[in-house]
Amino acid sequence: MITVFGSINVDYVFQVGSIPAPGETLLATDLALLPGGKGGNQALAAARAGASVNMVGAVGKDGRGDIALAGLRAAGVNTDAVAASDKPTGTASICVDAQGENSIVVYAGANESVSHSQLDAAMLGADAILMLQMEVPLAQMSAAIKAARAAGATIVWNLAPMQAVALEALQGVDYLMVNAIELDQLGQGLGLAATDTLHAKVTRLAELTHCSVVVTLGAEGSLGVHEGGVINLPALPVAPVDTVGAGDAFAGAFAAALDAGQPFEQAMRWGNVAGALACLKTGAQSSLPRRQDIEEHLAKLL
């Protein structure tokens, strides 16, 4: 069983020819209002990949919470521990350009109300996985991690979007997940040399934190360090339409694979396949693959 302790948003996705530069006004060619939030996306990705999933988070009493939760409910994610906040539902403004690249601004809103007290002891047993991102308050995530650690649960922390986090907080976790930009940002905070190679940075991060580390690299695949070994896996080649949520697809499928008893390297493979397949349609949740899709594409990873 996987419990996601994280954000739930509605995403306003603007289709644009290019990402606007500072001071530039652009006319969008399309607009979609879609469910999102890194927490919600990862919960759905894990559920689609076959895991039994609880979502712990908060939405506003503004009607948009139902939009944000619709996909999770349809996929059988347990949303009983999603609180109703007096703040507005978390909102993301997303521009997607002709190449499928994106830029995102998030207003946390109700996500600021999420509390570790919403976690139930039954969600944190020794065979449970707790997944977190960086879009709910850090103090609440730290308390959730502490509770999960005490209960013997496995903890997967996707440090997105990056913010300052103490080394001691990272040391309480089993799996850390970042993209290349977040790795650089985290490395600066931890005093890693900016000139180090990617490989050197990931290895040092794993040594410092005592965690297994995964770095997602988009079209370059992913790099992982686990029990002292380094694993470099290629991406599944696709022609991306929209890369929003690709990291969430990776994280959710990775956790679902661990939950299904798969070893670390195979979990990275599930993540690579899910991350690629998630780029084939507009929206973070619309193209999250199901377990069968992931399994069918695994053999295509070189």
Catalytic residue among 184, 248, 259, 293: 248
* Dist. CA 207–CA 83, nearest whole Å: 37
In the complex with ligand RIB, the residue whose CB is nearer, 9 or 154, is 9
* Dist. CA 102–CA 283, nearest whole Å: 11
Known active-site residue 120: no
Q: Which residues contact 21 (CB under 8 A, 6 or more apart)?
A: none
Q: Is 106 in the site for ligand RIB (CB under 6 A)?
A: yes
Helices (DSSP H) in 86-175: which residue ranges?
A: 138-151, 167-170
Helices (DSSP H) in the chain: which residue ranges?
A: 38-48, 64-74, 138-151, 167-170, 180-189, 198-209, 246-259, 264-277, 291-298
Q: Which helix or strand (DSSP H or E) is residue 125 part of?
A: none
How many CB atoms neighbour CB 95 within 10 A?
A: 20
Q: Least separation, in Å, of the C-beta of 61 and ligand RIB?
A: 19
Q: How far is CA 256 from CA 37, 46, 148, 214, 261, in A?
A: 18, 5, 18, 15, 9
Interface pick for ligand RIB out of 2, 11, 95, 215 (rule CB under 6 A): 11
CB 7 within 8 A of CB 136: yes
In the complex with ligand RIB, the residue whose CB is nearer, 9 or 216, is 9
Interface pick for ligand RIB out of 2, 3, 4, 9 (rule CB under 6 A): 9
Site for ligand RIB in 34-73 (CB under 6 A): 36-38, 41
In the complex with ligand RIB, the residue whose CB is nearer, 153 or 288, is 288
Q: Which span sits near ligand RIB by CB under 6 A: 19-27, 77-85, 209-217, 241-249?
A: 241-249
In the complex with ligand RIB, the residue whose CB is nearer, 39 or 187, is 39
Q: Least separation, in Å, of the C-beta of 159 and ligand RIB?
A: 12
Could you list the active site residues?
A: 248
User: Rule CB under 6 A: which residues touch ligand RIB?
Assistant: 7, 9, 11, 36-38, 41, 92, 104, 106, 135, 244-245, 247-248, 284
